[in-house]
Structure 1
Amino acid sequence: MKSCLIVDDSSVVRKVAARILEDIDFIVGEAEDGQEAFDKCRQEMPDAILLDWQMPIMSGLEFLKLLRAYVGGEKPHVVYMTTENDIGQIALALKAGADDYVMKPFDRDILEAKFQLETAG
């Protein structure tokens, strides 16, 4: 089974995303901020990461840059999550190494579509 780390400071968002991803056969882990996520990635690199933009301690963008520079950090399929409809922020995330993005609030169909490629592999 594929693994996905959900990184968001909102426990509600993490729980909703976890339920959807578990339904499409992901083993799900959770982190509240970028630092916790990076620590978990150093222990075991997930196949995919659903990453929030704004978080305390370490932002999604800071985490993404650190992840992609880390040995094995190029591997996870990273879907960037933001509530802000700002093309500039999305462009920064994609430039830093995000593979895709999703706007919050998301629904089951949107999230499944973003991670469907992962379940095929």
Structure 2
Amino acid sequence: MLRLLIADPYPADRDATIDLFAELGFSVILSPSALDAVARCEASLPGLLIVDAALDGALDLVEAVRLVPGGRTIRILYAVAEADLRRLMAAKRAGADDFLLKPYDIKVLHALFDEMLAKAAAATAA
């Protein structure tokens, strides 16, 4: 099962997303702050990191995870409430791989994660 770390400052959003991503086949870990998320990544890198743009230090988190040993190999998605080009480009420069628009659309998530989960399952079976 692919491990997913979600760094989101809002408890209600974290609680709502845990079931959504668990249903998609992820083992979900929640983090309320950038510092906590960096510490969790340093202890054990997830396969996927979703960083909410509203998190204090969100861009610093993306940069810090990329510096962790193995941090260049994980996929980092930057979650935004609106598509602000300046914010998206800053996230890309910090090291984000892609973006998610909140609230999450289950069809978009399935399309984005199906291939990733299939690769993880194949690697586990091998």
> Normalising to structure 1: TM-score of the pair?
0.90
Please name the residue that 1:42 is paired with.
42
Larger C-alpha radius of gyration, 1 or 2?
2
Specify whether residues 113 and 13 from structure 1 end up closer, same or farther in structure 2 by C-alpha distance, changes over 3 A only. Answer: farther
- Does the aligned pair in 2 maintain the 1:3–1:26 contact within 8 Å? yes
Letter of the 1:103 partner, please give it.
L
- Which consecutive residues of structure 2, in runs of 5 or more, have no partner in the other structure? 120-126
> Normalising to structure 2: TM-score of the pair?
0.86
Please name the residue that 1:120 is paired with.
118
Specify whether residues 44 and 65 from structure 1 end up closer, same or farther in structure 2 by C-alpha distance, changes over 3 A only. Answer: same
Query: Is residue 105 of structure 1 aligned with residue 100 of structure 2?
Result: no
Runs (4+) of structure 1 exceeding 2 A deviation are 110-117
1:68 to 63, 66, 78: 66
- Does the aligned pair in 2 maintain the 1:21–1:112 contact within 8 Å? no
Q: Secondary structure at the match of 2:19?
A: helix
State how many pairs are aligned: 119
What are the superposed Cα offsets for residues 56-97 of structure 1, whole Å, 9 maximum, x if unpaired?
A: 3xx211100111122111121111101132111111111221
After TM superposition, give the deviation of residue 24 of structure 1 in Å.
1.7
Q: For 1:60 and 1:24, locate their aligned partners in 2 and report how far apart those are by CA, in whole Å.
A: 24
Q: For 1:113 and 1:79, locate their aligned partners in 2 and report how far apart those are by CA, in whole Å.
A: 14
Identity of paired residues, percent?
A: 26
